[in-house]
Amino acid sequence: MSRIETPVLVIGAGPAGLAAARTLSRFGVACLVVDDNARAGGQYFRQLPASFKVRPDARLARDQQRAEDYLSALSDPLVKYRPGCTVWSMPEPGVFAFAEESSGGRILAEHAIVAAGASDAPRPFPGWTLPGVIAAGGCLNLIKGQAMVPGRRVVVAGNGPLTLVVAYSLRMAGSEVLAVIEAGRPSRHAWAALPGLLRIPKVIGLAAKYRLALLRAGTPFIEGSVVTRAHGSDRLQGVEVSPLDARGQPQQKSQPFDDVDALVIGYGLAPSSEFFRVIGCEMRDDEVLGGLVPVRSGDLETSAGGVYAVGDGAGIGGVEIALLEGSGAAAAIAARRGVDGAAPERDRLFAKLRRAEPFRASLHRTYRLQAPLDLATTETIVCRCEEVTQQQLVTTARSFNGDIELVKFATRFSMGRCQGRNCARTCRAIVASATGAVVPPSAPRMRPPARLIPISALLDEPLLPPREPDQVSL
């Protein structure tokens, strides 16, 4: 079992992690950046494979100049970078367990900045497991990371600003976007939320640019509606779109879209907070921030002393807030280590972050739904990894009086490859609705490893004692 020592460990090489590494190196603080992906950049700065050649006039919706600026931090002599490395637990303070393809060990760090990012938050509906139906994040990965599109004729549906980003990216990459189906009514609420949205004017400018480009292409925007069914035999062929009623639920009538190659679904993002739960951080459920997030101090430090949480993994806010948080946490660590000039920079960054903070709440108000969507039928698979249907969950939940841990053991929901990132929220809602039980947002409980790792990495691990349940402030 190898041991690595570093003053600061940065977990995640997306925008927040790269911003942290760049700021640390500017203040002369050495750090180790680890990421479980093969290439740095995260979702936003995702790069094409090195073997790809891109024409100067290629129509790719990417922030390439800024990506190169932040990625250059990994070439700094003070920054060590380990791709394909997963930090999966913190067995004791300042000691982080990691695993790579054929080895593992411990990283000893005085401070850690965790920039874990986010994952898609899907809403199951009939046909959502058909080939040709793809999540918004997966679609952007195809475009940015492989220069591919999921189909020629595409419908984009969901809730939140990510649908607009995906639709524009698809259009730029050559797909015909047949329609953008938005469950919320942003055009109705945007003006009231505009003062907060203008706290980050660059984002509003991009949104206007994307919307105008799609309108010029003839793409219709249908608000207050959802895709209720996807049709096809061996792959997607068409979808049905239904308007929402006064209760915020789909009406019986529907509008068909035929000859559809791909359906991109994006119901927002959920913070990847698994690592914080595994190491015992105090957590809270915050609808504006996207769900379960770590409680943080003014310096973005969690209740696990020395561990800082930044970026979308600590609360959905987008790339601009992620960059500020990564830089701010790094400056706070440099100031704590007594580096000259770090404290004023920390104060400047956090003042800028406080000015930008109303943006999140305003964006949430713009896209907020009247009620949680219930799109699944009894036969709908709600946990794709283990192929658990809604009816199986309901029947099992009633058998165990809503005890979600027993429901998990009996049905195996959230025990597959995604470890509940895609299904846990939906399954909690189904269990609560079927039984009237109060299901905490932290259920089911987390256990190490926080991420999937090779079983060989665990063979030499000692058996750790059990710990108390997750600390969650409701």
Q: Are strands 381-383 and 388-389 parallel, antiparallel or unpaired?
A: antiparallel
Mean pLDDT computed over 339-351:
97
Condensed to tens digits (0 to 9), the pLDDT of residues 442-466 reads 889 888 899 989 888 888 787 766 6
- Provide the CATH number for the domain formed by 122-267 in this structure: 3.50.50.60
Contact predicate 288/364, CB 8 Å: yes
Amino acid at 373: L
Pick the CATH number of 2-119+270-339 from 3.40.190.10, 3.50.50.60, 3.10.420.10, 2.60.40.1180: 3.50.50.60
Work out the mean pLDDT of the chain and round it to a whole number: 93
330: pLDDT strictly greater than 90:
yes
Mean pLDDT computed over 148-162:
96
End-to-end CA distance of the chain: 39
pLDDT cut 70: percent of the chain above it = 96
**What pLDDT was estimated at residue 61?**
65
Lowest mean pLDDT among 60-64, 72-76, 312-316, 448-452: 60-64
Q: Can you tell me the distance from the alpha carbon of 265 to that of 347, in angstroms, rounded to the nearest whole number?
A: 39
262: pLDDT strictly greater than 70:
yes
User: Which three-class secondary structure state does DSSP give residue 106?
Assistant: strand
Condensed to tens digits (0 to 9), the pLDDT of residues 105-127 reads 999 999 999 999 999 999 999 99
Contact predicate 148/185, CB 8 Å: no
Q: Can you tell me the distance from the alpha carbon of 308 to that of 423, in angstroms, rounded to the nearest whole number?
A: 27
Condensed to tens digits (0 to 9), the pLDDT of residues 212-255 reads 999 999 999 999 999 999 999 899 999 999 999 999 999 999 99
Buried b (16+ CB within 10 A) or exposed e, 146-171: eeebbbeebbbbbbbbbbbbbbbbbb
Mean pLDDT computed over 405-422:
92
Q: Can you tell me the distance from the alpha carbon of 300 to that of 330, in angstroms, rounded to the nearest whole number?
A: 10
Mean pLDDT computed over 403-430:
93
**What pLDDT was estimated at residue 102?**
77
Q: Are strands 255-258 and 133-135 parallel, antiparallel or unpaired?
A: unpaired
**What pLDDT was estimated at residue 264?**
98
Q: Are strands 255-258 and 238-243 parallel, antiparallel or unpaired?
A: antiparallel
403: pLDDT strictly greater than 90:
yes
CATH topology for the 376-443 domain = Arc Repressor Mutant, subunit A (1.10.10)
Confidence band (pLDDT; 50, 70, 90) for 60? low
**What pLDDT was estimated at residue 94?**
96
Among positive and negative, which fits the CA dihedral 425, 11, 330, 93?
A: positive
Q: Tell me what percent of the chain is helix, strand and coil, each rounded to the nearest 5.
A: 35, 25, 40
Q: In terms of residues, how long is the chain? A: 474
471: pLDDT strictly greater than 80:
no
**What pLDDT was estimated at residue 394?**
97
Q: Which residue spans within 237-280 are E strands per DSSP?
A: 238-243, 255-258, 262-266, 269-271
**What pLDDT was estimated at residue 289?**
95
- Could you give the maximum distance between any two Cα atoms of the chain, in Å? 65
Confidence band (pLDDT; 50, 70, 90) for 291? very high
Lowest mean pLDDT among 56-65, 267-276, 336-345: 56-65
**What pLDDT was estimated at residue 123?**
94
**What pLDDT was estimated at residue 473?**
57
In the chain, CATH 1.10.10.1100 covers 376-443
In the chain, CATH 3.50.50.60 covers 2-119+270-339, 122-267
pLDDT cut 90: percent of the chain above it = 85
